[in-house]
Structure 1
């Protein structure tokens, strides 16, 4: 098999493979803890798009761990290797698209609350579109890689770092990169629009308390920070393709990209309400002020 000879042209760096697997497992565990806490604890309120956004990062971790234990030695079975290639190319697109849907939800909530136009809350149809859209993108990219992999089986091989399977072709990487860039640009526009709306309308409105505005601003800042991380990952991927580093340098670039799931868990899992749940030994300081309680609910909904 052609892919076997290609994989055998260099020896795997076991230490780097172990570190990469650890970053994915660590991110997977952190994300599961955050999601389970938000789902099971009644004092934590999160929107469907928030859950969907972090769930796509769980899917990303699973994608890179599909050949765990088969990264050295003989090539994994063709079907397993192709399946992982499909998931790996789709992972960046589904996570960034889910992030875009999350920021659109946050933008709509912020602009609708207290609006004079009488627009109501987000409908079931709104949420359905925001939830389903990322998986439509995921499916399209998976089908693209599946067709290419089945028609040209020799392209299905391990990455040169031995960390996962991919296609030895630039086409799927360009397609995924284009989707990621477009989604990031649109997300950044919505982040900017949300920030401007908060500054111009919410902060001056009597319907909003200072703490409420501050909490929503913090969420916008968190997402703005995380929007930069896929750009960082994409830049590393471009450097990996264009410079074609080998050995340790190539493995380090891949590991750096692999830290994104843990970054998502830490950025969105360290909000005050979640920290209060985990720091259960601390005495609760929940305010009895109904306006502040309303502010907390609105800010937590995003």
Structure 2
């Protein structure tokens, strides 16, 4: 979300418009660190036979990998001459689309959790959701991604002088508030909808699952922990947006802009840590220790992590 949030800031110049090398290096590190952590979490979940995750979970974390890649396209070209127009425009497209694709994937993940929880014991008869059931959930984030990329591409080609490095020199963007506010509107709307689904899941668990004799207390606790993890991570981008909007009405220095971008740029690593520190993933890395096989959940909720 760094690009979108940064664009909420006004477009005054950065003092002498000189790159802050230390801040650029820190920002690059946050993206590389997030990319590596996410890769480790995804590979562990995919390869460890003891870990079960749904397609929407993999898709959600994969979009954060895509976000990291978006900000690393001009790695090594952040100082000196401007990157080639085509490279700069490509990064601008991906940077503006990154926050939208990640929050949309998060919304789809929350819809998946809602479907799993509310269908338990219903007409689905305990059927585990297959990849066919995930068609729209998997594709929707990338449709949003392509639409925003197309919007930025059109604006960039029509106004080639807009395509330049951001004032922090960390990535390329368009020197216009239009794509920023479009992305911001999408992000805010999607996050609010996702928070509604998370609240609905929490209420359903409290009113139905926790009181049902069909579920063991540990099973309900596992699902509650996953909902809590996702709920926390859904709220975090809202703080980033609020912080960025607050900056609009105040004068900042280049240092303040850079620090803000770095803070928001830590979200990929945050996603990896929040969803990669679940107990079954941690056990998979402790291969030298033997654990008793945990009692499985009912088949109808197997796509929710069995241990968190």
TM value normalised by structure 2: 0.90
**Mapping of 1:85-164 within 5 angstroms?**
85-115=92-122, 120-122=127-129, 124-164=131-171
Secondary structure at 1:300's aligned position in 2? coil
**Mapping of 1:139-218 within 5 angstroms?**
139-218=146-225
* Root mean square deviation of aligned Cα: 2.0
Instruction: Give the CA deviation at 1:280.
Output: 2.2
Cα 1:199/1:172, change in 2 over 3 Å: same
Instruction: Give the CA deviation at 1:285.
Output: 3.2
Instruction: Count residues in correspondence.
Output: 293
TM value normalised by structure 1: 0.92
Instruction: Give the CA deviation at 1:281.
Output: 2.9
The residue that corresponds to 2:305 in the other structure is 300
Q: Deviations over 1:75-94 (max 9, x none)?
A: 00000000000000000000
The residue that corresponds to 1:3 in the other structure is none
Q: Deviations over 1:244-289 (max 9, x none)?
A: 52221110000001000000000000001001011223331334xx
Structure (1/2) with the larger helix percentage: 1
**Does the CA-based 8 Å contact 2:15-2:253 persist in structure 1?**
no
Highest RCO, 1 vs 2 (Cα 8 Å, sep ≥ 6) = 2
2:40 maps to 1:33: yes
The residue that corresponds to 1:284 in the other structure is 291
Cα 1:244/1:139, change in 2 over 3 Å: farther
**Does the CA-based 8 Å contact 2:61-2:272 persist in structure 1?**
yes
Distance 1:47 1:269 in 2: 14
Which 5+ residue runs of structure 1 have no aligned equivalent? 1-5
Which 5+ residue runs of structure 2 have no aligned equivalent? 1-12
**Does the CA-based 8 Å contact 1:7-1:157 persist in structure 2?**
no
The residue that corresponds to 1:16 in the other structure is 23
**Mapping of 1:208-287 within 5 angstroms?**
208-287=215-294
